[in-house]
Amino acid sequence: MTVPLADADATELLGRRVASLLSGGDLVLLTGDLGAGKTTLARGIGAGLGVRGPVTSPTFVVAREHPSLVGGPDLVHVDLYRVGDAAEIDDLDLASSDAVTVVEWGAGRAEHLGDSRLEIVLEPAPGDRRVATVRAVGPRWQDVTFDTLRAP
């Protein structure tokens, strides 16, 4: 599924909508160039989950946990930009059955963290806009509809 994004507000709104589909133990991989909106999308997911913020880029700390303020799942926000290989990723001990784990720069590196995941790719589109491509992988997502991601 592809979702057009006019600006940062639309990207954050998409994150809120994605959050409405998430449960503890879910894995979300965010992909896109520098400045594509990965952290903005993660901020929206955090807002939608009702976690303590602010949700900011964890580039230099690699991972940051945001506890739920509403009794839902916590958010573990990870940035693998500076992480070298799968062994380093495994050393982070990111597997959690209770938290939602959102991984920036995870494509091709963090798929092994779960047999099911959402993959969201943010890419430039004409007119200084972006498009998000959402792909569901694994049994967790086979009966989930994604129509709410495109709601006006």
Hey, what domains does the chain have and what are their CATH numbers?
2-138 (3.40.50.300)
Report the predicted TM-score, pTM, of the whole model to 2 decimal places: 0.90
Q: Residue 94's pLDDT band (boundaries 50, 70, 90)?
A: low
Q: What is the pLDDT of residue 110?
A: 81
Residue 86 pLDDT exceeds 60: no
Q: Residue 6's pLDDT band (boundaries 50, 70, 90)?
A: very high
Please report the beta strands in 33-137, taking only residues with DSSP state E, as ranges in sequence order: 63-66, 75-79, 100-104, 117-125, 129-137
Q: What is the pLDDT of residue 88?
A: 61
Mapping DSSP to helix (H, G, I), strand (E, B) and coil, where does residue 41 land? helix
